[in-house]
Amino acid sequence: MLNNIKMEDIWIATYETLYMTIIALIGTAILGILLGLLLYLTSKDGIWENKVTNMIVASIVNVFRAIPFIILILLLFPFTDFLVGTVRGPTAALPALIIGSAPFYGRLAEIAFREVDKGVIEAAHSMGAKIRTIIFKVLIPESMPALVSGITVTAIALIGYTAMAGVIGAGGLGDYAYFYGFQRRQFDVVLLCTVLILIIVFIFQFIGDFISNKIDKR
């Protein structure tokens, strides 16, 4: 047991997984909040109520959420090649990771914004607040606990995606488990990779819950 394991390679794979997850998470958070805001603001009785825009954004979100991730990566190959210059390695996985998870987080963000008390937004209007002020000083701070727990859920889905991306050559623990573990019948490698991924998931979950609780003053 464990005699097939080269710790040096394992650490590199772990680093690649963390790299993909964290960078993709930052991209997802930004893109997802933008999508969420767009969905929320253009919805019925929203500040920028606009049926057409809302429908277009909602359709894009729904379509990208419906495409299985592994197929999305393949679909995005030309785009990734154009953007990154290669389709292999952790950086090449980022566009697909972000585009795959941002629509999902966008929906969660929209739900978070919907839960902000309408009265508080009305109060901000009554004080003469600009829309920008309402977004940055009311909507986002007031929905922060839900935004954080949403990003935690998304992060865990993302870790799963990185493993899938690994199978088609993105690197990381998924890649390592598949090529060095599964294909060479070294099950101790698969096992160790699983344990490491679980530890990463638990750490993300713990940090997310901690922050969400800490900032919730309700």
Partner 1 sequence: MISIKGLRKVFTSDNKQLTAVDNITLDIEEGEIFGVIGYSGAGKSTFIRLLNRLEEPTEGNIVIDKQEITSLTTNELRAARQDIGMIFQHFNLLWSRTVEDNIAFPLEIAGVPKVEQMKRVQELIDLVGLSGREKAYPSQLSGGQKQRVGIARALANNPKVLLCDEATSALDPETTNAILDLLVDINQKLGLTIILITHEMHVIRKICHRVAVMEQGRIVEQGNVLDVFSHPKEQVTKKFVAQVMGAGTEDETEDVEYLRNTYREGELVRLHFIGESTNQTLISQIAKKFPVDINILQGKITQTQAGGYGTLVIQFVGNSADIEKAVAYIRDETSVEVEVIRDAK
Minimum Å gap between C-beta 26 and partner 1 is 22
Going by C-beta distance under 8 Å and a sequence separation of 6 or more, which residues neighbour residue 40? 46, 109, 110, 113, 114, 139
- Tokens found for residue 33: 């909040």
Half-sphere exposure of 155 (CA within 13 A, CB side): 26
Going by C-beta distance under 8 Å and a sequence separation of 6 or more, which residues neighbour residue 207? 152
Any contact of residue 10 with partner 1 (CB under 8 A)? Answer: no
Of 54-62, 127-135, 177-185, 202-210, which segment contacts partner 1 by CB under 8 A?
127-135
Residue corresponding to tokens 């790299």: 19
Any contact of residue 132 with partner 1 (CB under 8 A)? Answer: no
Which CB atom, from 62 or from 133, has the smaller least distance to partner 1? Answer: 133
Any contact of residue 117 with partner 1 (CB under 8 A)? Answer: yes
Query: Scanning residues 172 to 201, which ones bind partner 1 (CB under 8 A)?
Result: none
Any contact of residue 111 with partner 1 (CB under 8 A)? Answer: no
CA distance 90 to 169: 8
CA distance 141 to 150: 14
Q: Binders of partner 1: how many residues, by CB under 8 A?
A: 21
Of 31-39, 78-86, 113-121, 163-171, which segment contacts partner 1 by CB under 8 A?
113-121
Minimum Å gap between C-beta 118 and partner 1 is 9
Which CB atom, from 185 or from 218, has the smaller least distance to partner 1? Answer: 218
Residue corresponding to tokens 């919907």: 114
- Tokens found for residue 15: 């680093």
Which CB atom, from 26 or from 215, has the smaller least distance to partner 1? Answer: 215
- Tokens found for residue 169: 């050559």
Minimum Å gap between C-beta 127 and partner 1 is 4
CA distance 98 to 120: 32
Binding site for partner 1 (CB under 8 A): 117, 119-120, 122-130, 133, 137-138, 141-142, 144, 215, 217-218
